Homo-oligomer: A and B are copies of this chain.
Amino acid sequence: MLELAILGFLYDAPLHGYELRKRITALTGHVKPVAESTLYPAIKRLEKAELLERATRPGSVAAPRHELTLTEEGRRELRRRLAEPSRSDITDENRWFTVLAFLRHLEDPGAQATVLRRRLAFLEEPASFFYDGDRPLRAEEFDDPFRRGILTIARATSEAELAWLRETVASLDTGSR
């Protein structure tokens, strides 16, 4: 997820680590903050894998910056990760939002629709949170207001997203015809 976000933000324009961190914090930080000690090693991993290059520039304000630029290989890698997201990129909301944030970099509307359809399939799978044996329990069956809340919220979320997904998939399909 972190690596995807780094590749995604750098796809548009070269940035230095500190700026990257601010953008990532805005994107997913209020839910799950990114520590600097996680970001810098991640940048190094990507550099080692030759997905990005760094150039030292005098800092505009303070210490010198390391301007990070994606290599051609790095650009291909982002498109690959967007076109073929892992299972958890689809199921985990944080990861999924990161995929969505950069999905426009996948230029083909058909490929974009394919990714949305995978999320759609996942959301359409019947899944509950609590079971009585094999039988999924519905919100109305709980005395517990908090468990009822979980199901209520999950249902509202999933309906909003399903509506958006269906609409967007349809418009990608007609747009590309």
Q: Which residue of B lies closest to A136 (CB)?
A: B26
- A103 on the B face (CB < 8 A): yes
Which B residues touch A144, using CB under 8 A? Answer: 104
User: What copy number does this chain have within its complex?
Assistant: 2
Q: Which residues of B contact A154 (CB under 8 A)?
A: 97
Nearest Cβ on chain B to A123's Cβ, whole angstroms: 10
- A135-153 at interface with B (beta carbon < 8 Å): 144-147, 149-150, 152-153
What is the number of residues of chain A that contact chain B, defined by CB distance less than 8 Å? 38
Which residues of A10-63 have CB atoms within 8 Å of chain B's CB atoms? 26-27, 30-32
**B100→A147 contact, CB < 8 A:** yes
A121 within 8 A of B: no
* Structural contact, A128 and B26, CB atoms closer than 8 A: yes
Asked whether A125 is an interface residue with its Cβ less than 8 Å from the other chain, the reply is yes
Task: Give the docked Cα–Cα distance between A26 and B151 (Å).
Answer: 13
Rounded to whole angstroms, the CA-CA distance of A164 and B152 in the bound complex is 8
4 closest A-B pairs by CB:
A156-B160, A157-B157, A103-B146, A30-B127
Question: A: which residues have CB within 8 A of B?
Answer: 26-27, 30-32, 88, 91-93, 97, 100-101, 103-104, 112, 125, 127-131, 144-147, 149-150, 152-154, 156-157, 160-161, 164-165, 168, 171
- 26 A-B pairs within 8 Å (CB atoms) are namely A27-B129, A30-B127, A31-B92, A31-B93, A32-B88, A32-B91, A32-B92, A93-B93, A97-B129, A97-B154, A100-B146, A100-B149, A104-B145, A104-B147, A112-B146, A145-B171, A149-B164, A149-B165, A152-B160, A152-B164, A153-B160, A153-B161, A156-B156, A156-B157, A157-B157, A160-B160
